[in-house]
Chains A and B, each alone.
Chain A
Amino acid sequence: MDNRRSSFLGRPAFAALLFGLGLALFGPPLLGIPARAGGAALLIYLFTAWAGLIAALLARTRTRKPETRRPDPNRELP
């Protein structure tokens, strides 16, 4: 289960999902809801969503690290 989750977090699809989620969170129409609720609500919403996005980035980073290895020189020729 963990392996599947890790591999998904490291995929470009997750990056795209994260980017889309960020756009949705910080763009209309979702952003309009706290904006209409007032300054304090907007502030809390923005920082909460921001922190969540950073946590997701951190998780993605952790799964990405193995890919930073240098290519195996003994691998088969393409």
Chain B
Amino acid sequence: MFGYLTVLAVVLLYMAALFALALWAERSPAGRRLADSGPVYALAMAVYCTSWTFYGSVGSVATSGMLFLTIYLGPTLGAVAWWNVLRRLARIKHRFRITSIADFLAARYGKCTWVGGLAALAALVGSTPYIALQMKSIGATFAIIGAPAGPAESWMADHWGLVFVLLLTGFTIMFGARRVDPTERHPGMVVAVAAESLVKLAAFLTCGLCVMLWDSPGLDTLLQTLQAGDPAWPGLGTLAGNAAQPYALWTTSLLLAASAILFLPRQFHVAVVENPAENRILTATWLLPLYLLLINIFVAPIAVAGLQAGIPLDKADTTVLLLPMLHGRAGVALLVFLGGFSAAMSMIMISSMTASTMLVNHLVLPLATALKPLGFLRRHGLRCRWVGVAATIALGLWFERLVGESYALLNIGIVSFAAAVQFAPPILGGLFWAGAHRAGALLGLGGGMAVWAYTLLLPAFSRSGWVPRDLLDPGPWGVSALRPEALLGLSGLDPLTHAVFWSLAANLGLFTLGSLILRQDPDEAALARSYVQILGADPMAPTALGEATIPLEDKARILVEALRPFHGLLQARSILDACLRRAGLAGRTQVSLHELSGLRAEVEHALAGTVGASVAHGALTTAGLLSSEETEQLSRVYADILADLNLPPEELRRKVDYYQEREALIARHAAELERTVELRTRDLAAKAHELEEANIRLRELDRMKSAFLSSVSHELRTPLTSVLGFAKLIRKDLNAIFPLLDQEKAGRRCERALTNLGIISDEGERLTRLINDVLDLTRIEDGRMVWRDQDVPLRQILDRAVHAVSGQFAAKPALRLVTELPDQLPVLRLDPDHLLQVLLNLLGNAGKFTDAGEVRLSAGPTPDGGCRVSVSDTGPGIAAQDLPHIFDAFYQAAQDALVDKPKGTGLGLSICRRILDHYGGGVSVESEPGRGATFHVDLPPTAVAVAAPPAPARETDVARPAAEDRPPAVLAAHADPGVCAAVAELLAAQGYEVVTAHDGPTALAAARGVRPDLVVLDLFLRLGESTVFAALRADPDLCAIPLTLAPTQPVLGHAGGRPDFDTPFDPQLLAEAADLLLDRSRAACSYALLLAPDAAAETVALPLCPDGVRAVSPRELWEYIETGYEGTVLVPGPLARDLDLERLSREPRIQVLILPDTPCPADR
């Protein structure tokens, strides 16, 4: 059906997958957890199902009917007792580091080398033919499914055995005999075997389902055939074929199978040595029987289908593979082949591994110890095991080639079961009977195996033609009572039942007799009690008592010499060091006798893991570690302890066991806790590292954000200035053009165009403020802000702030701005512009959000020598949930969005906080909704240059100064609060009362409320769809107020946040202009140009202009300006409408004064 190379390639791929799985199980924690799980443990025990059962069950149906089921029903019955028996075995394995079934027996019976050797020999005798049987199945099925198609494949047909031996040996050594200590579990091997169990189950179920669904006439027909039987397959449908005593054979098979599931060497290894934890036995108790049921559920239907397909009786064993091939199901056939290969492979691997361990530990090493020429082998225990694995597998192949189709090989499965049952009496006796003696075990096992060989093996050899048939009948030397199949005249039984009966009788009889007749020595008795009471407690260790007087160096040398034959010098020293550490004696020079005893136990324990308990015990016993005096002293000490405690030895052991158990438990818990703490610490360190990295990333991102904002803000502001300027130019031009158009047609569109331009202008200005705030914030964060600290009186700053916001308050008649300041205020050492920025922000917010009542500004020293300025209002207050956030950048209180108030940028308070942070001060807020808010600006003592003496505060209503004392009032109306503040500061320094306004309505309201003597005006300050300039000129009450133009688009250098009026605004010119217009008693300016309607230019003498005023026409005015004129330009109000005021206001060093009441020179 397939070429050999194809089949081999599939097998190689399959083995590679198993290799990867095994490697993963060994190296990854998840793999080890899987290997330790109950289902994997149960599936590994399914190594019980070899190719003998995978293929042979169907063949057995053809000849022996349902007898094959006993092989699986037996383990199911035996599973009832596993919790008691298998748990004991597993615990003993953990305590005594048992490596194999031979090691178990040797360790139990006084660490007797002979018992171990005999058990190993028996196991080997049983294993080799069994491995041969697996080899035979691999070869037979390989020949069925494959067909040679070329020279290479013909070579494969002849040499498949060598290929498989190499593959299986490599795999077994890799995962089963790689390490020195065979007591360590083999998770890779276990997981691979479990996977193979799944594959063989899947293969068998697939084949069965194909038969049931497609490849047979139907279930009814199958059952009818099974019910009726068929002469071609005589056993079909019977209980046990043509057995003379079917029920006896049935019962014997049940017993053998129940025993074999635990006592076949490979089963002992998987169930006991590879047991990960006792409670896994519970899973296996039901899962393994379930597995056995499933893998057999289609055996009978497949057999009937094979019969119906015409498969002859001699090919019945391969029906499982032949059926899918007959029906052309290549894939199913290949899967079945892999299932059978898995069954054989898993058995060979585990059997060869256990056989090599037993061979080396119980035959080779004892021989190497006894025979000096072989002594070198003790140093090569691991290599010996590798050789043992290869030899066992190769021996199986050789045996298969040798005996071929003989009767002996075909029946080796059940023969092996009968051999395995010989282990049952010494093992079960050793577990439950403290009096079981090693002589009894030796005699029983030896006698049982001998009878087994005589009654079962010898007839099989005879039928195969290897020994004379006369042995069977009439019997050896013609003695009928010695006939192997009718021993002592017991005839009528089938050979298996007969052999099991006599071999078990001999085994049990000799075992009991030997145990009853001979007395145990103390060591064996102690061991026996440990085994029998294994479920009681963990091992005990002698308590370290006595004085440390024994030189450790000498004893260590003896121990190294004892280990050296098995491990070599270097490894022996390494093992001893490990034992010293475990015994707590590392670094000691002298030890007590008890400590030495403990060290000896540790070393023996370690050595037992390599060479088995009996060899290890022998090596330590003959090493001469304890002198006769020390031995006697140790005995006396133990006797004294018992006497002191007034306890019988058993009671002492129980108590010590109990505390030992507690100690072991606590040690385990401590180790687990340490592991947990270590894991947690590692996690925390990793998280701290992650947080640190995240913090670094965040800082870097923050720096990049600031740089980005700064860069973008600069880049935005430049074009925005142009946008605003051009928008205003367009608006001005349109204002001039639209009246000329047909109002009927273009009125609405013109109106809409002007409105849109107004919106552009408003939004542009708002955006400018936002950008300025962002720039301030980023400069503070970057540390690029310039701080021009100087000594400045606090009062001066407060006055500037009050002046700057007075216009805003003047626009709200119901709102009072009250200052509550003492006469003496401290002199501060800080940048006055920054503090002014803070105060303007707080006062501006208070004025913005308070409609009626008062805003109170107070200041005074604090007890710690610092200074506090407070701004309180009677506004709506701030909600509690907003209080913690209002100083955050871009945060705006919820109520801001709910009321119809102009929104800010959300940066003002954040900038305030950072400015005060810079000086070590702070800003805080107290507020209750509905009761206003109070902001406190706290400056530390370090910001105070000269403290002020405490003095009572004096309350002043800023918005309502007394009229008679009022100095000339100036209204500074500009969209930029910074310009307002600068103008206010400049003019206030000249002695003027200055009020400010930042928007059109406020400016108009302030003009009406304050009636200023002069308005310093942003020419394009908007008022709805018009401008304040137009409104002032149109209002009959206000048109008499002279105007001077403030810079229409200030260039705010923002050096340190302070507006820098380089161009086109000249503070000196502004001051002169103000003096000129307000008729001050000092010379205001030396020279001025007065715009006149005609071209006749002449100089007009004015009292306040010593050098005179020159009247110029508009054309001449521009010529003057273009040739470098610097100074004041007086514009009569009526002429202002026709003058390009914006161009004029942009000219550097030109101050424009609009004189509404001054008659034009030409008019005079």
Contact = CB atoms under 8 A, between A and B. Distances in A.
A64 B76 contact: no
A13 B224 CA distance: 41
Interface in B273-289: 278-279, 282-283, 285-286, 289
Interface of B: 65-66, 69-70, 73, 76-77, 79-81, 83-84, 223-224, 226-229, 236-239, 246-247, 250-251, 254, 278-279, 282-283, 285-286, 289-290, 293, 297, 300, 654-655, 658, 661-662, 665-666
23 contacts: A12-B84, A15-B84, A22-B73, A23-B254, A26-B73, A27-B250, A28-B250, A28-B251, A31-B250, A38-B228, A42-B66, A43-B66, A43-B223, A46-B73, A47-B293, A50-B73, A50-B289, A53-B76, A54-B76, A68-B282, A71-B665, A73-B665, A78-B654
B278 A41 contact: no
B283 A61 contact: yes
Given A26-B73, A39-B65, A57 B80 contact: yes
A18 B81 CA distance: 10
Nearest to A10: B83
B58 to A, nearest CB: 14
Max chain A C-beta neighbours (<10 A), residue from B84, B229, B293, B666: B293
B254 A27 contact: yes
A54 B286 contact: yes
B731 to A, nearest CB: 90
Closest 9 CB pairs of A and B: A39-B237, A68-B279, A39-B226, A40-B227, A40-B223, A38-B227, A28-B247, A58-B286, A73-B662
Interface secondary structure of A, over-half rule: helix
B224 A53 contact: no
A57 B79 contact: yes
B77 A26 contact: yes
Nearest to B651: A78
B5 to A, nearest CB: 41
Given A26-B77, A40-B223, A32 B247 contact: yes
Interface residues of A, number: 36
Given A31-B239, A39-B229, A68 B665 contact: no
A61 B286 contact: yes
A47 B922 CA distance: 88
Given A26-B250, A38-B237, A64-B282, A15 B80 contact: yes
B76 A22 contact: yes
Please indicate which of the listed interface residues A40, A46, A68, A71 has the most CB atoms of chain B within 10 Å of its own CB.
Answer: A40
A57 B654 contact: no
Contacts of B285: 57, 60-61
Interface of A: 12, 15, 18-19, 22-23, 26-28, 31-32, 35, 38-43, 46-47, 50-51, 53-54, 57-58, 60-61, 64-65, 68, 70-71, 73, 77-78
A57 B65 CA distance: 27
Contacts of A32: 247
A57 B66 contact: no
Given A15-B80, A57-B80, A46 B289 contact: no
Contacts, number: 112
A2 B282 CA distance: 21
B227 A77 contact: no
B227 A39 contact: yes
A40 B226 contact: yes
Contacts of A58: 286
A31 B247 contact: yes
Given A28-B247, A38-B237, A50-B73, A57 B286 contact: yes
A54 B293 contact: yes
A71 B69 CA distance: 40
Contacts of A31: 239, 247, 250
Given A32-B247, A40-B227, 8 more contacts: A12-B84, A15-B83, A22-B76, A22-B77, A31-B239, A46-B66, A61-B283, A64-B83
A41 B661 CA distance: 54
Contacts of A68: 278-279, 282
A57 B288 CA distance: 11
A46 B65 CA distance: 12
A6 to B, nearest CB: 14
Contacts of A26: 70, 73, 77, 250, 254
Nearest to B226: A39
Contacts of A18: 80
Nearest to B289: A54
Nearest to A43: B300
B239 A42 contact: yes
B289 A53 contact: yes
Q: Most B CB atoms within 10 A — which of A35, A39, A54?
A: A39
A31 B658 CA distance: 48
Contacts of B239: 31, 35, 42
A47 B70 CA distance: 12
B253 to A, nearest CB: 10
A65 B282 contact: yes
B297 to A, nearest CB: 7
A12 B531 CA distance: 20
Given A27-B247, A77-B658, A57 B224 contact: no
A21 to B, nearest CB: 9
Contacts of A40: 223-224, 226-227, 237
A22 B80 contact: yes
A39 B80 contact: no
A22 B289 CA distance: 13
Nearest to A71: B661
A60 B665 CA distance: 28
Contacts of A38: 226-228, 237
A78 B658 contact: yes
A62 B84 CA distance: 15
